Chains A and B, each alone.
Chain A
């Protein structure tokens, strides 16, 4: 069995766990912060509720629209869990725009716990539906995590040295 790479991130927030939970559970609030900068997120169909699926569209002023299919496994004050795939506007799972090697479905698990008067959040991102090539790209993405653009800097330097 292949070891599946798991992306993890933790963050302390000053806000209470109830407010942090609402920012994930309330689709209106979630849309306000969950899209890349300058973009807008809109749920096209479905309901953001346990056991339900949604199809949403992320639109940027420039660049193509992206569609996501989410299956909401758990929406509890201390745990939000969902499966997410890139999809067509009709909700058929598909590769991300212009990039064909990526896990088909990623599981996101968010845990919220009260800490120091605020909220300690941990987030796990795990491929659950994938082929070997997609899994390798996910692992490569994690390797480039050291500084985000660090991977690009290396590549640029390599290229400039040619």
Chain B
């Protein structure tokens, strides 16, 4: 069972499950960027950024522009758009926050 027919879907969801990778997708939605550009906007190391980029690329969400020494990354046409990811985050915003509020009220119910 090492080859699953759902592999691309699994890869895409695994790639999207991480907030850093969603942040990278949002950044690339504004235009292509080099690993250095991307690392400069995130509080993580360049090797860590490279690992995230590799996962996004394997998931088919981004690609490497076929030119230049800097090998800029860009969103892959037909991949899941970063805009979509942002809108989904916004759509989940209040439902998730109210869940968190309910949990907070439950945790603090015995406090004076």
Q: Which residues of A contact B (CB under 8 A)?
A: 7, 9, 11, 13-15, 19-20, 23, 29, 32-34, 36-38, 60, 62-64, 96-102, 121, 123, 125, 137, 140-142, 144-145, 148-149, 151-152, 155-156, 159-160, 162
Contact = CB atoms under 8 A, between A and B. Distances in A.
Contacts of B60: 159
A98 B30 contact: yes
Contacts of A137: 83, 87
B102 interface: yes
B9 interface: yes
B70 interface: no
B105 A141 contact: no
Given A62-B42, A98-B27, A99-B86, A23 B91 contact: no
B41 A64 contact: yes
Interface in B36-68: 41-44, 60
Nearest to B87: A141
A106 B60 CA distance: 34
Please report whether the interface of chain B is mostly helix, strand, loop or mixed according to DSSP.
helix
A62 B88 contact: no
24 contacts: A9-B98, A14-B106, A23-B105, A29-B108, A32-B104, A34-B101, A63-B19, A63-B23, A96-B86, A97-B27, A98-B23, A98-B27, A98-B28, A99-B82, A99-B83, A99-B86, A125-B94, A151-B84, A151-B87, A151-B88, A152-B16, A155-B81, A155-B84, A156-B12
A144 B86 contact: no
A141 B44 CA distance: 30
